[in-house]
Amino acid sequence: MKTLKVLSSALVASLLFAGSAHAQSHRASTPNGHEVRQGVTQRSNDRMDVAELERVLARFDAARARRNNAAELASVDHRLRELLRAELAESRVETAQARAEARREWGESRAENRDDVRDARAEAASLAARRSAARELNSLMGVRSQAQLNRKRALIVELVRLGKQELRADRQELREDRKDRRDGWRS
């Protein structure tokens, strides 16, 4: 009888421990509401950034249509410099966050780890492309030759394309987070 009590106590203790360990690992591997909200906020900010870049492109085109209006082109250069500075800072933060998430392996499946590593690589590539465009745009600030203005326009268009690409990636990541969260509730 005493052996049965000890055995049943050990069984109950092991079940409680196993359940607790499963819950902790499960919580670590599924995104919480904060991560989903953070993704929504990030997507909203990215959407505003793309819209602002599109407005700058429209202003640039309008200034060129008015015989390369020097004052308006200077204003566009100034706004572009501000946007690039903010965008590069934001990209550095996002790249660091993606790398940190890729290093955090506990409680995640191999597929989730691969996804995190892929996201970190994509963020790093995006940052490198933005830096390259920013360096070239910086060298073109204040220039007025047609060839240089054409190149500047192409770089602004490239930044808009990178922004839209980031929006698509944000949408995909948000879908994955929501799916992981739903799947987490079911398990």
- Encode pLDDT of 22-37 as tens digits: 444 444 444 556 666 7
Supply the pLDDT for residue 136: 95
Q: Is residue 128 part of a domain?
A: yes
Supply the pLDDT for residue 129: 92
On the CB side of 160, CA atoms within 13 Å amount to 14
Mean confidence (pLDDT) of the chain:
80
d(CA 99, CA 117): 7
Q: Is residue 10 part of a domain?
A: no
- Domain count within the chain: 1
Q: Is residue 2 part of a domain?
A: no
Q: Is residue 141 part of a domain?
A: yes
Total-model pTM: 0.71
d(CA 158, CA 137): 11
Q: Is residue 66 part of a domain?
A: yes
Q: Is residue 6 part of a domain?
A: no
* Structure token pair of residue 82: 């501000």
Residue 76 lies in domain: 31-186
Q: Is residue 22 part of a domain?
A: no
Supply the pLDDT for residue 31: 52
Residue in the structure block whose two tokens are 């770089």: 155
Residue numbers of the chain with a pLDDT score lower than 70: 1-36, 38, 105-109, 111, 184-187
Closest CA to 169 of 122, 130, 131: 122
Supply the pLDDT for residue 100: 83
d(CA 156, CA 159): 5
Inter-residue contact 170 to 42 (CB < 8 Å): yes
Residue spans of beta strands (DSSP E) within the chain: none
d(CA 67, CA 164): 30
Q: What are the pLDDT digits (tens) for 46-56?
A: 899 999 999 99
